[in-house]
Structure 1
């Protein structure tokens, strides 16, 4: 089985060498590494030119989703994993993933654990859910970074391109559909590290819930319309929902309980 490692990149000189080297260090060697760069103006391209094994392009794009879609179209592997230019894999990650796919024929998606590096403070993240029902009501934690999951190519072929107008939660959009339409499995292996330095997009999202909620509602309408009002109620009363309507309903519920 061949793994296609897909990396969207833009002005990534600070981290991209470590990301590339983490792929080269893999104990499992049947992989390709594709990098789609958005026209970097720093030294990113100079770094890429030092690696003859890379398949890469650099051209203006419409954002990360566009770069991810381009990279997917260039891929030739049976399995797909995205590696952001500022993150990295652990050496046995690919072998751990391959072992699961080989030993579990019906599995379509493998989700593992990861570490989060917040300016040198490294902490484990082990509580990712693989339940589409949990994701649909924003319960539990969805896999925080693509360095921690890998899936069969048919998954993305079925779901389609990442929306070009989605710049922050394309992963949540994708995983909702992937977990609903295909079979995921959670393993306890740590696959890589998510570098959270205060400058990447995940770092600057102020209210992730308000961005995820519309995706959850649209998903319910399209795939599980019979659950729509249940999902809407759960999201409206969600502890992370800071809307005035939500706060009013929560106060009313407390009064009724008294």
Structure 2
């Protein structure tokens, strides 16, 4: 049997959640489970009701996206974990494309490119992410983290046992817990492999956290970069991982 993939959807008062859930259920990869983690929502919960027979629904007190992801990871039964924000959507072949690549290359972490869509699900910037050489790009990815974060968290697919080695998402970072995680993955010697396909649609809208909390996001990013980039520099110089 093919390895199981758990798709975790953190949810908090988001009207777009049915689109996210349906895109997870519509995956062409046959062995998936979908976990929706309700992070103490007070609105839009009724939109999940039609899907309850097809998903695992977990409700917890509000604690932020990192805590919701960690709760989902704790309950995941898959060998691999994907994360889908409740206002974004996976393209139907997202999981299949990554599993094909990761099994063939024996890799533990992969990510892809993505399209930017608006509030009406219309793509207005295709291939929005940074692109790398389609082959042997692990070194490029490491080097990229010296100056930027090239990874959209919802494009990732990660072997679940990675979290046993690097730890789970840090709830101290309300908005950039993913950025912190990527550094920990890289510094533990796990290459993040880029797949040159656009496999999700990432939503840009006025209600998104990315739009509403820019000052906080920038502050957290600065904290992470000041801590990890010198360590990354020394790691790359010392171990010459490539």
What TM-score do the two structures reach when normalised by structure 1?
0.78
Equivalent in 100, 110, 122 of residue 124 of structure 2: 122
> Is 1:159 matched up with 2:166?
yes
53-62 or 116-125: bigger deviation: 116-125
Residue 20 of structure 2 corresponds to 19
Asked if the contact 1:108/1:155 (under 8 Å) is kept, the reply is yes
Deviation of 1:85 after TM superposition, in Å, equals: 0.6
> Is 1:132 matched up with 2:142?
yes
Unaligned runs of 5+ residues in structure 2 are: 133-137, 236-242
> Is 1:195 matched up with 2:208?
no
C-alpha RMSD of the superposition: 2.2
Provide the rounded CA distance (Å) in 1 between the counterparts of 2:110 and 2:232: 24
Deviation of 1:134 after TM superposition, in Å, equals: 2.6
Asked if the contact 1:35/1:57 (under 8 Å) is kept, the reply is yes
Deviation of 1:101 after TM superposition, in Å, equals: 1.4
Residue 247 of structure 1 corresponds to none
Asked if the contact 2:115/2:123 (under 8 Å) is kept, the reply is no
What TM-score do the two structures reach when normalised by structure 2?
0.83
Deviation of 1:209 after TM superposition, in Å, equals: 4.3
Deviation of 1:176 after TM superposition, in Å, equals: 1.3
Deviation of 1:220 after TM superposition, in Å, equals: 4.7
Provide the rounded CA distance (Å) in 2 between the counterparts of 1:220 and 1:16: 35
| Structure with larger Rg | 1
Provide the rounded CA distance (Å) in 1 between the counterparts of 2:86 and 2:41: 12
Deviation of 1:128 after TM superposition, in Å, equals: 5.3
Residue 213 of structure 1 corresponds to 222
